[in-house]
Structure 1
Amino acid sequence: MKTTYIKLSLASVILLGIYSCKKGEVAESNYKMEATADSASAVVSDSVSSAATMTVKDKQFIKTADVNMEVKDVYEATIAIEKSVQDLGGFVTHSNLQSNVVSENTYTTSDEEATLIKKYQTENTMQVRVPTEKLGELLTLINNKKLFLNSRIINAEDVTSSIKYAELEGKRIQKTDENISQLKTNKDKVKMDDENMAEGNLQQLANMDVTDNLKYSKVDIYIKEPQLRIAEMAVTNTKNIDNKYQFNFIYDIKNAFVEGFYLIQKIIVGLVTIWPILLIIAAALYFIRKRKSPKTNDQTLSE
């Protein structure tokens, strides 16, 4: 019974979450129409969407943004964005600056020197968190660094209903805990108490996540340079160095003479080492020749 009740509660959370997202989209659309109608009498920066700065009575929004643009210098833009985020009371959660090498060639300039030419493109993928009320200001500062804006997506998710439902769930969990405490202590009570406590912990974690996301907006930033950069680096002419030391005639002749002398020494030492075998072979040859000599003399006399 308890498990079925928990499943129904989770299903209700999912359905209300979907409903709140849809409701948030409608509210955002209505608000944009009102902002457009009032734009003639209000001074609004063209670089910031109304979704980043809007406030609606009795509504709470989780705001996020995604910016993709090209800048003159990725490194300088990265430093400027990080400083702006810090000045606004935010923080950087991810920054991956890298240079993608397109080609790399080495050109000889002298017998000892050469120049390494690298063609590369620098990019950075960042994620920052900034106080929600400062989101519009941060987007304006980021926009000032652009050469070309590829895309900018700003989301304002209405979580008012979800927050209200979370409050009701908290009261339900508390009431369930009170009811369980009145039961007689047994294995079932311990299990029910443990399940209710686990559900309460999950609810508290969800509440903390929502609170954090309401307080700080997440901004994903991708910046790159529009054209390739060229890096020229002085290096050693390794090819000429290899040719220079690959063959030395005088040294090789001297070394060959010494190695030949050592080879003769090794041969002599080897022969001395196997002298018993040589002695046996010499004795065998002597007896063979001695046996052949009488036969040769007998053939000569018979003729």
Structure 2
Amino acid sequence: MRTLLLLGALVATVSACNQQEGYAPEQAQSDSVAAGGGYGLPADTAAAAGDPVKIVKTAGLRMKVGDVYAGTKDIAGLVRGLGGTVSHQELLANEGAHKEWVIAGDSVQVLTAAHPAADLVVRVPSERLEEFVFAVSDRARFLHSSALDIDDRSLAYLEAYLRQQAREGFLKATPASVKGRGDERRVALRDEAISQALAQRQIDRDVRWSTVRLALWQDPVLRREVRVNTDMDSYGPPFGARFLQGLGRGWSGFLTVLVGLAHLWPFLLVAAAAWLVYRAQPARKASV
């Protein structure tokens, strides 16, 4: 029910925008002439600019799908079928819980919970935005959110046009100087006129093509894999070799102790003499 309400609101908004693009304000020509006069443009030049309606539509969808990879591939095919393009596509899997255990001396079984997701940015023809939104929504298990943004770029387009015409008119009316400060000014005006022309083209492109951002995700999946055991303490020689090594190290340790005692012979000699003197004292007292 929530999905149907979201889709109904989105479609109603898109339809209203399509109707709005079908007409231009009645005072378009007069407003353009007035604006042109402010820039010092001829009245017929400003009127030629008109006051076109430039509506830029963008949308966003966040939804749950059965398979992120298959859903991304399907949406990309749908975009191409509508004559659009995919400008950004990112597939990722966020790892969650993790567990591993040794299954052999050199192998480890790893179990990981992953959360696949995808982010897409596509551009479709504006007149087919409604069709695209419906088609994508039909592929969702659950539509979390659907958004539509309408941006009226009419004034920005008109401003860029008038600025371009003003600078081009100034360049035509002002003769070029011979290696003076005026040359730098003319270059700056020419560059600004080019920037304004590019701004108009960018607005025209945004009007013709709607940008849609999509976020897809699915239920977590368990990934099983066998990896090489990188714990160096788990590696070593077999039991027989280790047992023989233990005997050899024990004998070597015993010999080391004997060598250490050999270094202590003066202390042992003094201790023995002191013990003999101590034993001789009771016998001497008894004879007295």
- Shorter-chain TM-score above 0.5: yes
Instruction: Choose from 225, 233, 236 the match for 1:246.
Output: 236
Structure 1 partner of 2:206: 213
Cα distance in 1 for residues equivalent to 2:164 and 2:238: 87
Distance 1:95 1:184, change over 3 A: closer
Q: Is the 8 A contact 1:48 1:140 kept in 2?
A: no
Cα distance in 2 for residues equivalent to 1:199 and 1:86: 36
Instruction: Choose from 117, 128, 132 the match for 2:122.
Output: 128
Distance 1:228 1:254, change over 3 A: same
Distance 1:108 1:252, change over 3 A: closer
Cα distance in 2 for residues equivalent to 1:234 and 1:189: 73
Structure 2 partner of 1:189: 182
Q: Is the 8 A contact 2:10 2:147 kept in 1?
A: no
Aligned partner letter, 1:248: P
Cα distance in 2 for residues equivalent to 1:80 and 1:148: 17
Does residue 203 (structure 1) correspond to residue 196 (structure 2)? The answer is yes
TM-score (norm 2): 0.64
TM-score (norm 1): 0.61
Structure 2 partner of 1:270: none
- Displaced runs of 4+ in structure 1, greater than 6 A? 110-113, 236-239, 253-259
1:269-284 pair list within 5 angstroms:
none
Distance 1:231 1:190, change over 3 A: same
Q: Is the 8 A contact 1:66 1:154 kept in 2?
A: yes
How far did 1:62 drift? 0.7
Aligned partner letter, 1:212: R
Cα distance in 1 for residues equivalent to 2:168 and 2:119: 44
How far did 1:110 drift? 7.1
Structure 2 partner of 1:230: 222
Aligned partner letter, 2:100: T
Does residue 163 (structure 1) correspond to residue 157 (structure 2)? The answer is yes
Percent identity over the alignment? 20
Does residue 153 (structure 1) correspond to residue 147 (structure 2)? The answer is yes
1:55-70 pair list within 5 angstroms:
55=19, 56=21, 57-58=23-24, 59-70=53-64
Distance 1:207 1:246, change over 3 A: same
Q: Is the 8 A contact 2:164 2:194 kept in 1?
A: no
How far did 1:78 drift? 0.6
Question: Any unmatched runs of 5+ in structure 1?
Answer: 1-44, 260-303
Measured against aligned partners, the alpha-carbon deviations of 1:189-244 in whole angstroms (never above 9, x if no partner) come to 2122111111111112211211211121111111111x3211233556788x975x
Measured against aligned partners, the alpha-carbon deviations of 1:113-156 in whole angstroms (never above 9, x if no partner) come to 76421111111111111111111111111111222222221112
Over the residues paired in the alignment, what is the CA RMSD in angstroms? 3.3
Distance 1:72 1:249, change over 3 A: closer
How far did 1:255 drift? 7.5
Measured against aligned partners, the alpha-carbon deviations of 1:86-107 in whole angstroms (never above 9, x if no partner) come to 1111111111110111012124
Cα distance in 2 for residues equivalent to 1:80 and 1:234: 32
Measured against aligned partners, the alpha-carbon deviations of 1:154-195 in whole angstroms (never above 9, x if no partner) come to 112122232233322222112111122x36435122122111
Cα distance in 1 for residues equivalent to 2:127 and 2:55: 11
Question: Any unmatched runs of 5+ in structure 2?
Answer: 1-6, 25-52, 250-288
Greater Cα shift, 165-174 or 248-257: 248-257
Structure 2 partner of 1:290: none
Does residue 85 (structure 1) correspond to residue 79 (structure 2)? The answer is yes
Distance 1:201 1:115, change over 3 A: same
Distance 1:169 1:247, change over 3 A: same
Q: Is the 8 A contact 1:47 1:140 kept in 2?
A: no
Cα distance in 1 for residues equivalent to 2:9 and 2:68: 20
How far did 1:258 drift? 11
Cα distance in 1 for residues equivalent to 2:247 and 2:86: 70
Aligned partner letter, 2:59: A
Aligned partner letter, 1:78: T
Cα distance in 1 for residues equivalent to 2:141 and 2:61: 13
Aligned partner letter, 1:52: V
Cα distance in 2 for residues equivalent to 1:82 and 1:252: 61
Q: Is the 8 A contact 2:56 2:151 kept in 1?
A: yes
